[in-house]
Amino acid sequence: MLAEKAMGGVSELAATAIAERTGVPQHRVAVVLGSGWQEAAAVIGEPSTSIPMSEVPGFGSPTAQGHQGTIHSVTVGDSPVLLLMGRQHLYEGHEPSKVVHNVRTALAAGARTVLLTNAAGGIRDGLSVGEPVLISDHINLTGRTPIEGANFVDLVDAWDPELRSLAREIDPSLTEGVYAGLTGPQYETPAEIRMLRTIGADLVGMSTVLEAIACREGGAKVLGISLVTNLAAGVTGQHLSHAEVLAEGHAAAPRLGKLLRGVLERL
């Protein structure tokens, strides 16, 4: 109980620091930009304030390559939006409470809608590299949870159906898929990918599921979008690399930015 209160306290402190630094008392919407999504931020808009995560309580700097480690406040339409440029992962050695500190801070800063983005390997036949896919559901294979205690959070429609419809209004070519979240940092073996396919996963990655759970615990709506940066292990004979993930993000940035901006304008 004490630990829970302490973490809650850090999110409150972080939200207060963001409100002070940005001069914006409440950000109703937050976007977490993961691997491959950093450049899309420029299309969303010019930040009115940028704060290094290392200067906000509880954050620290992300170590994953290609994660900028900055928090931007950007006005879209009339609404201030928090852009969290990079995230912390279990594979960096962080506890779940640290991994979800970003979204708990966003909730404490007033967010009722959270957009979670990531890079993923495509498992389902027909997915193409460079394609954004709406997350329709997830399979949490990390063995971890950000929730402490007997708090039985409902995850039916965890990935908000109305927000997915909204995204499809902007880009009718978007498909949906089930995201399997693993801890990494090693990529999967071809045998693991065959198993994931069998249990119903369309996409695989190393983030996002714990953040979605924390958002639902806090009552915020969640929209998730994966950028397929590679086909998963064994789907082709190719080897996988993080450089490829970043390169695909670079190539897809204009499309991803336009999609995010379109969604944000309609919220």
Binding site for ligand HPA (CB under 6 A): 119-121, 187-188, 204-206, 229-230, 232, 240, 245
Examine the residue annotation and report whether 50 is marked as an active-site residue of this protein: no
Examine the residue annotation and report whether 89 is marked as an active-site residue of this protein: yes
Examine the residue annotation and report whether 119 is marked as an active-site residue of this protein: yes
Q: Which is nearer to ligand HPA, 217 or 248 (CB)?
A: 248
Q: Which is nearer to ligand HPA, 14 or 201 (CB)?
A: 201
Phi, psi of 104 (to 5 degrees): -65, -35
Cα 149 to Cα 151: distance, rounded to the nearest angstrom: 6
Cα 125 to Cα 143: distance, rounded to the nearest angstrom: 27
Cα 80 to Cα 225: distance, rounded to the nearest angstrom: 21
Examine the residue annotation and report whether 79 is marked as an active-site residue of this protein: no
CB of 262 to ligand HPA, least distance (A): 24
CB of 239 to ligand HPA, least distance (A): 11
CB of 248 to ligand HPA, least distance (A): 9
In this structure, what DSSP letter does residue 232 have? P
Catalytic residue among 19, 91, 140, 244: 91
Is 199 within 8 Å of 129 (Cβ atoms)? Answer: no
Is 161 within 8 Å of 223 (Cβ atoms)? Answer: no
Cα 16 to Cα 70: distance, rounded to the nearest angstrom: 16
Q: Which is nearer to ligand HPA, 59 or 187 (CB)?
A: 187
Q: Which is nearer to ligand HPA, 7 or 204 (CB)?
A: 204
Residue 183, both tokens? 């801890």
Catalytic residue among 195, 242, 244, 251: 242
Burial of 141 (0-12, 13-18, 19+ CB in 10 A): middle
Catalytic residue among 11, 73, 97, 207: 207
Is 100 within 8 Å of 211 (Cβ atoms)? Answer: yes
Q: Which is nearer to ligand HPA, 102 or 229 (CB)?
A: 229
Examine the residue annotation and report whether 97 is marked as an active-site residue of this protein: no
152 Cα distance to chain centroid: 22
Catalytic residue among 206, 212, 220, 252: 206
Which residue in the shown chain puts its C-beta closest to ligand HPA? 121
Residue 12, both tokens? 């409150």
Examine the residue annotation and report whether 35 is marked as an active-site residue of this protein: yes
Phi, psi of 222 (to 5 degrees): -125, 130
Catalytic residue among 17, 53, 67, 106: 67
Helices marked H in 63-133: 96-99, 101-108
CB of 181 to ligand HPA, least distance (A): 9
Examine the residue annotation and report whether 1 is marked as an active-site residue of this protein: no
CB of 230 to ligand HPA, least distance (A): 5
Examine the residue annotation and report whether 91 is marked as an active-site residue of this protein: yes
Residues noted as catalytic: 35, 67, 89, 91-92, 119, 206-207, 230, 242
